[in-house]
Amino acid sequence: MRARALPALGLLALGAVALAGCSSTESEAAAASDPDAPITFATTPLGDDPTAQNPIEAFAELITAETGREVEIVDVPDYTAVVEAIRNHHVDIGFMSGFPSALAVNTGEVDALVAWPGNDEPVSTCLVLDGSSLHSLDDVTTETVVAFADPASSSGYFMPVSMLHDAGLEQDADYTPMFSGGHDMSFIALKEGQVDVACTSTIFPTMVGTDMFPFAEGETRSIGESDSMPVAVTVLADQLIAEDKRELLLEALPNVFVEENAEALGAMFEAMQGTGPILEPDAKIFQPFVDIAAIADVDISDLG
């Protein structure tokens, strides 16, 4: 079931993500413990093709089958809003990549329920149209407009910024950055010539010709790939989530993200990078993100 979208919750700049959250009332705590309450799941919209199976809807159906609980999907505009929805007890869980997970854990008000480590393969790629005059990162100049998905995106911002930094390229000084608002919007901007480069997840070019990657085979090419990430994906949870919900999800999530569900879950499954889950991971697992985030002038060093 899909609920109405939440407001942006005052969409925070990343440097201010660790603001104090709203206190839960007694009534909110009582509602959270209702054994018949649905599991609420915050997500950014993923895919608009009405003919394709939506992986978010498939995820909800699979969780319901495993837990016996209805799942309500709550659309929010971006990654930061997912974190804020969890922190402020509007939803139970959110599905997040490594950096926003680290930012969320850093608030001290969000739990990491399950995490999937990275697989030592590149997570980001910077794409140009095949006819572009850019053939490598060495060709990037101050006039080059680079589209990033979202300021809290791992594969669409932090990792490509780190890659560009390693190549001697800094934001504003050596290229012109632009936030598109999402991976899909970066592709549209690249397709329409509004930007020269679109930095995104390596997952998307494997979906060539689909709603997830609206280019034909050979229409784009990569001019650089990033390093791997220590954590690929985390399921974050409200710290006030009812204990029975927590236990149900800890049991269900590893059973949902298995090979037999790969086709239905699409990009959600591929984001796990083929690794096994870690239940209730310690905050130390996010420590490697600190140095990478610092390159983007974001301090997430106070983990724990």
Residue 152 pLDDT level (bands cut at 50, 70, 90)? confident
Instruction: State pLDDT tens for residues 227-267.
Output: 998 899 999 999 999 999 999 999 999 999 999 999 999 98
CA angle 297–302–304, rounded 5-degree value: 145
Is there a single domain that holds both residue 91 and residue 142? Answer: no
Band of pLDDT at residue 214, cut at 50, 70 and 90: very high
Helix (H) or strand (E) holding 121: none
**Taking all residues of the chain, what is their mean pLDDT, rounded to a whole number?**
85
Residues 96 and 6 in one domain: yes
Res 52: pLDDT: 46
Interatomic CA distance for residues 274 and 284, integer angstroms: 22
Does residue 62 carry a pLDDT above 90? yes
| Phi/psi of residue 148, nearest 5 degrees | -110, 150
- Mark whether 234 and 113 lie in a shared domain: yes
* Residues 20-46 pLDDT 10s: 333 344 434 444 557 778 999 999 865
Question: Which pLDDT score is estimated for 212?
Answer: 85
Statement to judge: residues 140 and 102 lie in one domain: no
Domain that holds residue 269: 2-118+229-295
* DSSP 8-state class, residue 202: T
* Pairing between β-strand 2-3 and β-strand 39-43 as defined by DSSP bridges: unpaired
Answer yes or no: do 43 and 185 share one domain.
no
Residue 253 CB neighbour total at 10 angstroms: 22
Report how far residue 56's alpha carbon sits from residue 45's, in angstroms, rounded to the nearest whole number: 8
pLDDT tens sequence across 93-133: 999 888 888 888 888 899 999 999 989 899 999 999 999 99
**Domain identity same for 218 and 236:** no
Residue 160 lies in a domain: yes
| pTM of the entire predicted model | 0.67
Taking the C-alpha atoms of residue 28 and residue 222, their distance in angstroms, rounded to an integer, is 48
Question: Are residues 59 and 33 part of one domain?
Answer: yes
Q: Please check whether residue 173 lies inside any domain of the structure.
A: yes
